[in-house]
Amino acid sequence: MLILQCPCCGVEAEETEFAGGGQAHLTRETVGASEENFEAYLFMRENPKGVHFERWRHANGCGKWFHAARCTVTLEVFGTYSAQTTRPPNEICDKITARRPGWSLKDWGSGKFA
């Protein structure tokens, strides 16, 4: 039962108040996309052992979506941030690097941000 802070309303609450929404920072593929790209968009997800960026919704609260940077092994939460961005903010990445020396955003998401 994780504790997360909703960056939209500021409430710090436990997992029952939120709903997980899978991997963050997907790029929507649509008409015109190749079969491979569209399949990857629909079905292929990262499953890292360690740092991950996830979508969450404050479902039983303000109703807003947000993103969380989290370690899937230790359950450490590095921070939460607005869902209305296409890449993790620098300050969140810096926090992760401080806790996981040597980590870089390039390592995540099959090199999406490399």
Partner 1 sequence: MSTRLSSAGRLLNREAAVKFNFNGKYLQGYEGDTLASALLANDQMLMGRSFKYHRPRGVVASGAEEPNGLVNLGQGARFEPNARVTTTELFEGLVAESQNHWPSLEFDIGVVNNYAARLLPAGFYYKTFIHPRAAWKHVFEPVIRKSAGLGRAPKSRDADRYEHFYAFVDVLIIGGGIAGLQAARAAGAAGVKVLLIEQTPHWGGRAPVDGAEIAGKPAGDWIRDTLKALGKMPNVQIRTRMMGAGIYDHGYALAYERLSDHAPDNDLPRHRLWRIRAGQIITTTGAIERPLSFAGNDIPGVMLASAVRDYVVNYAVSPGDRTVVVTNNDDAYRTALVLKEAGLEVPMIVDARPDGGGALAEQAKALGIRVETGTAIAKVNGGKRVTAVEICPQAGEGKSMTLVPCDAVAMSGGWSPVVHLWSHCGGKLIWDADHAHFRPDPDRPPLGADGQGFVSVAGFANGAMGFGDALRDADDAGKAAAKATGGTPKRSAAPKAVDVEMAPMAPVWKMPQGAGYKLRSKMWLDFQNDVKVSDVQLAAQEGFESVEHTKRYTTLGMATDQGKLSNINGLAVLADSLNAEIPQVGTTTFRPPYTPISMGAIGGEARGEIFQPLRRTPTHDWAEEHGVYWEPVGHWRRAYCYNHKGESVEDAVQREVRATRASLGLLDASTLGKIIVKGPDAGRFLDMIYTNMMSTLKPGRCRYGLMCTENGFLTDDGVVARLDEDTWLCHTTTGGADRIHAHMEEWLQTEWWDWKVYTANLTEQYAQFAVVGPNARKLLEKLGGMDVSKEALPFMAWADGKIGGFDTRVFRISFSGELSYEIAVPASQGRAFWDTLLDAGEEWDITPYGTEALHVMRAEKGFIMIGDETDGTVIPQDLGLDWALSKKKDDYLGKRAQERSHMADPERWKLVGLETLDGSVLPDGAYAVVEGDNENGQRKTEGRVTSTYHSPTLNHGIAMGLVLHGPDRMGAVLDFPKVDGTIVKAKIVSPVFYDPDGEKQNV
- Answer yes or no whether residue 31 interacts with partner 1 by CB under 8 A: yes
Q: Which of 45, 99, 106, 112 binds partner 1 (CB under 8 A)?
A: 99
CB of 108 to partner 1, least distance (A): 18
Q: Which stretch binds partner 1 (CB under 8 A): 45-53, 67-75, 105-113?
A: 67-75
Give the residue, chosen from 59, 72, 89, 107, that forms a contact with partner 1 under the rule CB under 8 A: 59
**CA distance from start to end of the chain:** 33
Query: Using CB under 8 A as the criterion, which residues of the chain lie in contact with partner 1 when the complex forms?
Result: 1-3, 14-15, 21, 28-33, 35, 38, 42, 55, 57, 59, 63-65, 71, 74-77, 83-84, 99
